[in-house]
Amino acid sequence: MYRPFRTAAVLGAGVMGSQIAAHLANAGLTVHLLDIPANSANKNELVETAFKKALKQSPPIFFTEKTARRVILGNFDEHFQRIADVDWVIEAVVENLRIKQQLMARVESVIRDRAVVSTNTSGLPIHLIAQGRSESFCKRFLGTHFFNPPRYLKLLEVIPTTDTATEIIKRMQWFARLHLGKGVVVAKDTPNFIANRIGTYAIMLGLRALTEHGYTIEEIDTLTGTLVGRPKSATFRTADLVGLDTLMYVAENIYPAIPHDENREIFHVPPLLRKLVETGALGAKTGQGFYKKQGKEIFSINPVTLVYEPAKPLHLGDIEVIEKIPDLGDRLRALYQDKGRAGTFFREFILNLLGYSARRIPEIADSPIEIDQAMRWGFGWELGPFEIWDALGFETVLADMKTANIPVAEWVKKDGEMGRWGDGRNESILMSPSTPLDEINLATLKADPKNTLWQNPEAALLDLGDGVGLYEFRSKGNTLSLKVVDGLAEVLDILETGDLQGLVIGNSGANFSAGANLAEMAMLAQSGNIQAIANLIVKFQSLMQRIHYFPKPIVAAINGRVLGGGCELVMACPQVVAAAETYIGLVELGVGLIPGAGGLMRMVTWAADRAATESPHHIQPFLQKAFETIGMAKVANSAYEAQEFGYLAPTTKIVMNSDRRLYVAKEEVLRLEQEGYAPLPERNAIMVLGRPARAMLEHAAYIMYQGGYISEYDRFLASRLAYVMTGGELTVPSLVDENYLLQLERETFLPLLSQPKTQERIAHMLKTKKPLRN
């Protein structure tokens, strides 16, 4: 419907400007990053310094190192005229209204008449920034408030003024969702917009509980973190990450801007926060804020003495019992009903938060949907305020608000005796957002039992419609458990003989798959049942080959972590749709094993295919890269980097918005079927390089060992890896088929399970979720 932006200029190379430029480059735009000139011979010195700093950020802000080349640096003196050729100008300079207004006047004098202009301000009124500009300029001007870091946080608040043209708003929503991967919320031009207004209020509630109600920092973070569906950074770690100076700046700006807010005083900067900022304790960027790491211990500030102290025991009753409740809704209800200190805190906190959120409608948003989406996408909450209200029970919360003398919003009072929202048929405070036509909501799909065609306890075959099925993992961590593997084999039987035209393999989890179920494998190894493991490896390899050469199209739809066996499954699929934020890798060496389900065979094939000829000296560099990638258990930083590593094929469809991957995968199945799908031709001649190449790979591992980069056992594992990747005992370069390499994988994989150091690595991973380099 709309023309995508292809060029952009970001004005201001600070923390946000650099990261916004990086994410636009990730989306394929050519980006001019401009800043004020330096007082030196090199007027680009300031922008170059800022950009170099941005390149070192962790996690990285670019999909690949090559992506950074799309950003062209410049300064306002020598290169401002470049913005005459761009589609979109984003202002991200210092939060000073006069400076921004002066910059907008200069922008208007240069840009072309179709260019869109936006500001990334988080605290200034949007309409004032464009004050004095022409009618044409104002129609193309709006706020685009990215959340930090722009690559990883999904929320984009789009803030139009009363002058912004409707088509500009729609174009920005469309482009941001499809091409930037954003969850877009249209916010009103009110102080701090939606997410920061509610989010800052929540942080201030936590601060008040620390200074006025006798809860410790650790207790508050326990009660406002993963327990209640919020990030583990909770309240005080979030404040440290944001920066206490930034938090104070936000509070100081919002306080005078909201004279009619009945809870305005909550934003008054507490003495503790001001004291920390004055003493330079600004949070993570200075190494101390509410928390401080001393050695291996994490200390927290004593709000009375201002001394950092070790964490005290939690006095929260049976909180461990509540923490173990798997369903978030059940967990919230249990905590809300708790009679101890934990329940007392949560009830007061959540009632105030829900009441405040409701009273901000229609001031900051027109409905609960925008507020819930803003908090989920901007602050990483699993449920927004009104979804939490729904989970606790509308009438329960309403009655408790009245008992606690918390003001109830007029719209809630008027919305029917049961607090119904919308058409009055849904007994809920919510009006559910509609799913876009180019997305598939699995929760909605599964609500109708007729859409489940087959299932076992850890997997299911769902009907996506139009003759396309979806194989969904339901195991813990979406691991490839025995039930998942056996289920996939059953589903392929159904697919082969039934009416389905093709299959998508995917799920709606944050991560596609954590790999093989190590606990099951460890249990078999400890029982000495090596034959059972051998049979399992044969089964898994055969299943991967069956998928690769299946007579109907099979498409993997992936996102998040795709590790070990999950990576091998994806590599076996003839076609893949990947979210840009996909972190995929063959990580088996981290648990003392090698890939054993075709991953090595496919990486050897990738090396041979990338080479200009089958000459060993052409293949060797690519084989070396594959060897290092697997040997170091590297995980790709993005789907684009995964293509560079060889984990994903060049034909992979990459989508910026992860929510679209199942829809795109379904469309890909239909496209392949309509084109007259035929299985891939079998690979019966793969060039492997034999013993000379093996010696080179082993020497590379030796150099790494001598340099202290890997352990002695890592070096041993690398030798087994090199053995398989060069063809085993072959003395010279030779052509082999896939089964030859698969057999080498099996023969090398099984003995490693009996190695004590491998068993130590597996046990450590199961216990700590972290690799052991013994």
Reported as a pLDDT band with limits 50, 70 and 90, residue 422 is very low
Q: What is the CATH number of domain 7-186?
A: 3.40.50.720
Q: Which 8-state DSSP code applies to residue 507?
A: -
Give yes or no for residue 718 having a pLDDT over 50. Answer: yes
pLDDT score for 641: 97
Q: Can you read off the two tokens belonging to residue 722?
A: 């090199």
Residues 6/30, Cβ–Cβ less than 8 Å: yes
Confidence of residue 1 (pLDDT cuts 50, 70, 90): confident
Class of domain 443-752: alpha beta
Q: Give the pLDDT band (50/70/90) at residue 218.
A: very high
| 269-313 confidence digits (pLDDT tens) | 999 999 999 999 999 989 999 999 988 899 999 999 999 999 989
pLDDT tier, 547 (very low <50, low <70, confident <90, very high otherwise)? very high
Residue-by-residue DSSP string for 320-361 = HHHHT--SHHHHHHHHHH--SHHHHHHHHHHHHHHHHHHHTT
Contact 39, 77 (CB under 8 A): no
* pLDDT, the chain, mean: 94
User: Tokens representing 322?
Assistant: 């509540």
pLDDT tens per residue, range 88-122: 999 999 999 999 999 999 999 999 999 999 999 98
Phi, psi at residue 478, to the nearest 5°?
50, 40
Q: How far is CA 721 from CA 176, 613, 630, in A?
A: 43, 24, 8
Instruction: Output the pLDDT for position 518.
Output: 85
Residue 749 CA to residue 743 CA, distance in Å, equals: 10
Residue 423 has pLDDT above 50, yes or no: no
To which residue do tokens 């929510």 refer?
659
Which positions ≥6 away from 672 have C-beta within 8 Å? 502, 553, 555, 575
What is the C-alpha separation between 329 and 391, in angstroms, rounded?
A: 6
Q: For residue 364, what are its two tokens?
A: 């900051």
- What SS3 class is residue 470? strand
Half-sphere exposure of 215 (CA within 13 A, CB side): 27
pLDDT at 63: 97
Higher pLDDT, 527 or 714: 714
Q: With cut-offs at 50, 70 and 90, classify the pLDDT of residue 426.
A: very low
Angle at the Cα of 666 (from 472 to 380), degrees rounded to 5? 60
**If DSSP states are collapsed to H, E and C, what string results for 238-252?**
HHHHHCHHHHHHHHH
pLDDT band at 165 (very low <50, low <70, confident <90, very high): very high
Q: How much is the pTM? A: 0.93
Q: pLDDT at residue 135 above 70?
A: yes
Query: Which CA distances in Å does 61 have to 38, 42, 149?
Result: 25, 26, 8
Contact in structure between 388 and 350 (CB atoms under 8 Å) = yes
Task: Find, among 638, 629, 537, the residue nearest to 587 by Cα.
Answer: 629
pLDDT at 533: 86
- Between these two residues, 416 and 715, which has the higher pLDDT value? 715
d(CA 256, CA 267): 10
User: Is residue 468's pLDDT more than 70?
Assistant: yes
Q: Percentage helix, strand, coil, to 5, in the chain?
A: 50, 15, 35
Residue type, 731: T
d(CA 599, CA 585): 10
| 442 SS3 class | helix
Average pLDDT over residues 162-180: 97
Model pLDDT, residue 429: 62
**CA distances in angstroms from 678 to 35, 266, 554, 675, listed in the order given:** 54, 65, 11, 9
Token pair recorded at residue 772:
């052991």
In sequence order, the β-bridge partners of residue 157 are 145, 185
- Residue-range domain boundaries for the chain: 7-186, 195-414, 443-752
Q: What is the pLDDT of residue 428?
A: 62
Q: Supply 547's token pair.
A: 């998928």
pLDDT, one tens digit per residue, over 556-607 is: 999 999 999 999 999 999 999 999 999 999 999 999 999 999 999 999 999 9
Q: What is the pLDDT of residue 530?
A: 79
For the domain covering 195-414, report its CATH number.
Answer: 1.10.1040.50
707-712 average pLDDT score = 92
- Cα–Cα distance, 530 to 527 (Å, whole number): 8
d(CA 761, CA 143): 50
Q: What span, in angstroms and rounded, lies between the C-alpha atoms of 668 and 675?
A: 11
- If 0-12 CB within 10 Å is exposed, 13-18 middle and 19+ buried, where does residue 684 land? exposed
Cα–Cα distance between 370 and 158 in angstroms, integer?
A: 11
Q: Facing residues of 459 across strands?
A: 456, 473
CB environment 737-770: b (16+ within 10 A), e (fewer): ebebbbbbbbebbbebbeeebbbebbebbeeeee
